Every structure is written in structure tokens, then in C-alpha cells.
Amino acid sequence: MKIGILLTTSPEHQNGHTVCALSDVFLAGGHQVSLFLMDDGIFHISKHHKLGMAESLEDLLSKDIKISICSQSAEKRGVSEAEGIKGIEWASQRELARIVAISDRFLNFGD
């Protein structure tokens, strides 16, 4: 099963922990998972943000999750590729539309 997940909330919100835990369970169950970070969700990739999920996302990347980030959201918030974790695709809303289209299930964690 293909599962798409959208995360738009900042690291101060519980959603980041929930998304990482669910993604880990889905991957362990043999599912394909695509995660798209947008709006304030992009702050989760920053190793400098103490509340972000950078370490958990790096662990998920090693388990074959696909993680994409909205480059427009990052640009508006002053987040550069240099401060993020390696292995994340910097993409557009077109990638999010693709994830939604191919997913058997799509979960949205936002405000």
C-alpha cells in the first residue's frame, strides 16, 4: 500500500512526533511512504531547530521513506538546503499533487 503524508505544522506541535511514529510503523509493515513537508512543517528538517524531527527523519530516510519539502515554503521562511538534512527532495506543489494521486491512503497533519 502507498501512503502519502502531508505535515504543515511547526516543530512545537505534536504532529511531527505523530508523523514520524506512524511512518515508522507503516514502513515496518512493508508499506511505501511518501512524506511532504510544507508551510511551517519545513522547520522539521533543520538540525538547528531543537524541537525539529531532523534525527527521526534521518532514521526514516535510512528505512527507505521518500521525503519531499516545498521549496517555496522554505524560501519564504529563510530555510536553505545547507541547513537541512541530506536525502530530502526539494520540490514544488506538483510533487505533492503526484503523491496525493498515487497514494492509496493520504494523511494530512496540519492546523
Range list of β-strands (E), the chain: 2-7, 32-37, 66-70, 89-91, 105-109
pLDDT of residue 102 exceeding 90: yes
Instruction: Write down the pLDDT at residue 52.
Output: 67
pLDDT in tens, 11-57: 999 999 999 999 999 999 999 999 999 999 999 998 776 666 888 99
> Domains in the chain, please, with CATH?
2-109 (3.40.1260.10)
